[in-house]
Structure 1
């Protein structure tokens, strides 16, 4: 395949798939597991928000560290360490008898799950600059396939016992670790030999360094706005649909099954075609417009079926992320891919961290209503405005 080292890409995508499948298994059951240990719905919502917040904060803090470390010692050992750690953390909720134990497991799990940035850097190592939008889209498509299988299976298993999906997730992560240990080759051919200073591991400093490249500022602003919207939907969907539509874990899992299928089609089939035919500016603007229409529709509809269909339409906004990642990746040297993509991942993790602080209070203030999703849509209005007003670096030409 032109532009790819086929075996290496296949190996790392298989690892990403198993990793994402393990995480996807627990999505439908985490609120229910917390509910078995919380005494009231209010406590369930507060603890759910706190656990989601802690996971995102740890991803934010760890992403630059993991990205920079992979630039020095290689992608393979960092990937394996993260996958092995995640396998251990998935076991903790199986035996936990307190919400504090679950919180601790998600803190550590958030740190080690930041290895997605290493997978992105791995793909950048073995892919030509002009092919990276499609390559990053492949990672998204793999996540989509995993989310087709993981949440659906997790929802079914969770009907019997909300702890059972955690056991299966841990086993899958262990298989992932063994697969990478024996099969995954190293991709980094020219490590960064500069020492890692403590200041360089500060996530705010790495973001400030990236934002100093003024031509990237519009892209970074759009990343913050649209990823915050995605994170708000992700962190509230399970509780939102339970409160508004009375959905069970099985129904939630099936809705995420449909979302995963839409993500797979978007990033595996739609993105490679639109990235060849249209400019990055057009792809980003179109994706944001579709996402905006979908989220407004979710906020307005009182039908759970319609909301589920609109969630699949929301997945079409998935063309935006890989396009912007490609823009950031192409502006840096090969030995800086981990650090640069780590900074972008830190942005994503930061929005994931703050979204429960925004989303869960809105759910408590307006339980069973669509107002939270209508407010979320304002972020996409701002992102679309920025995309229309500013051109992206290289946005004048199609890939």
Structure 2
């Protein structure tokens, strides 16, 4: 495999590792910095996640548009360097507001996932893009494996240790990219930067004019709202429901990441071949709905872990949707498309953490009318059902 592609996959993996590294320590870190109960820490965790997502939402199209104008290479390298410094800030933060500032900066730099996906689109033929996006998803899944595992283990050395490792990884990858990354934007595909299109609403509006893309963007958005229940609530859910330690939370998320990487990196190709892109999206929704309901109601942590492969099958949805939409967009707008998709997923992460952590707090608080820690997962299952219905109804109308 060419070194630039390895760099792109490493970039996506490190993005996921940076997120996953800190998930196991967030409940204890927030309680250490701000005090309060676990339910209160969950609310602050939702605020931090939403802050991160707001920045991704606002800057996804900006970064994607800048990469269409100035190239993928400078955008990726500058973002990685700033990301490394941001993790240093969070490693030394002594107040909740410094953590918020760190999530502001981190959300902007993490918006480069759109640029990484655009790079893969640049080097792929149209019929190869869905599978290549699956490879990017597999890299994200691999990072999600290593991140929580290392985060849980490093928690034994303090709640700040994972941030130091994330800083080293981002900085090292920036150096690697400086050496090996080749530019893919040429004069033939370069496009002028336009602020009207470089804002999330403008980008979504522009793409929404293309046939069938609006409905697919909505489905993509709904999927991410439901999927965000995992990073938003999982550490609090595991601690409350099963009395899991940070190490156990990390191991459980690592297992989820392993199965996600295997599915998106390997199984998705035969699934796409057998079911097609639309059939793959339908199957992914069915697996997602079933797993979310089961996770919400089972009372054994062991059973939750055994359900992980089923839950991971929902990961076939995004690359299949990306493949459908990418085929409907011109080559000189791939960065814009990926930026809009980043904004759609970020918008989901703006809403979902607040809703999911609030739902968790309401159903686990001492004054809760019904004790149901799995309530956020039932809500996510309902959203997945809405997404599936939107796909089926839209297909019926277009036929």
Specify the TM-score bucket, using the shorter chain as the normaliser: over 0.9
Q: How does 1:1-399 map to 2 (within 5 A)?
A: 6-41=2-37, 42-190=39-187, 194-367=191-364, 369-391=373-395
Query: For residues 191 and 28 of structure 1, do their structure 2 counterparts lie closer, same or farther at Cα, with a shift above 3 Å needed?
Result: farther
**SS of equivalent residue, structure 2 residue 24:** coil
Which stretch shifts more, 299-308 or 70-79?
299-308
Cα distance in 2 for partners of 1:289, 1:80 equals: 39
Aligned-residue CA RMSD (Å): 1.9
TM-score of the aligned structures, taking structure 2 as reference length = 0.94
Cα distance in 1 for partners of 2:89, 2:3 equals: 34
How far off its partner does 1:264 sit? 0.9
Cα distance in 1 for partners of 2:44, 2:20 equals: 20
Cα distance in 2 for partners of 1:183, 1:388 equals: 44
How many residue pairs end up in the alignment?
391
Kept after mapping to 1: 8 A contact 2:52/2:103: yes
Cα distance in 2 for partners of 1:10, 1:174 equals: 16
Cα distance in 2 for partners of 1:194, 1:150 equals: 36
How far off its partner does 1:212 sit? 2.2
Kept after mapping to 1: 8 A contact 2:285/2:314: yes
Which stretch shifts more, 33-42 or 162-171?
33-42
Cα distance in 1 for partners of 2:308, 2:237 equals: 13
Cα distance in 2 for partners of 1:214, 1:47 equals: 40
Cα distance in 2 for partners of 1:84, 1:374 equals: 39
How far off its partner does 1:191 sit? 5.8
List per-residue Cα deviations over 1:301-340 (Å, max 9, x = no partner).
Answer: 1111212222332111111100111111111111111011
Kept after mapping to 2: 8 A contact 1:152/1:254: yes
Which stretch shifts more, 258-267 or 203-212?
203-212
Cα distance in 1 for partners of 2:7, 2:353 equals: 34
**SS of equivalent residue, structure 1 residue 66:** helix
Which structure 1 segments of 5+ residues have no match? none
List per-residue Cα deviations over 1:357-399 (Å, max 9, x = no partner).
Answer: 211110111015222211221101111112222339xx99xxx
TM-score of the aligned structures, taking structure 1 as reference length = 0.94
Cα distance in 1 for partners of 2:195, 2:214 equals: 25
Cα distance in 2 for partners of 1:340, 1:153 equals: 33
Which structure 2 segments of 5+ residues have no match? 365-371
Kept after mapping to 2: 8 A contact 1:298/1:311: no
Query: For residues 191 and 33 of structure 1, do their structure 2 counterparts lie closer, same or farther at Cα, with a shift above 3 Å needed?
Result: farther
How far off its partner does 1:193 sit? 5.0
**SS of equivalent residue, structure 1 residue 264:** helix
Cα distance in 1 for partners of 2:179, 2:15 equals: 16
How far off its partner does 1:26 sit? 1.6
Cα distance in 1 for partners of 2:91, 2:210 equals: 46
How far off its partner does 1:7 sit? 4.5
How far off its partner does 1:190 sit? 3.7
**SS of equivalent residue, structure 1 residue 195:** coil
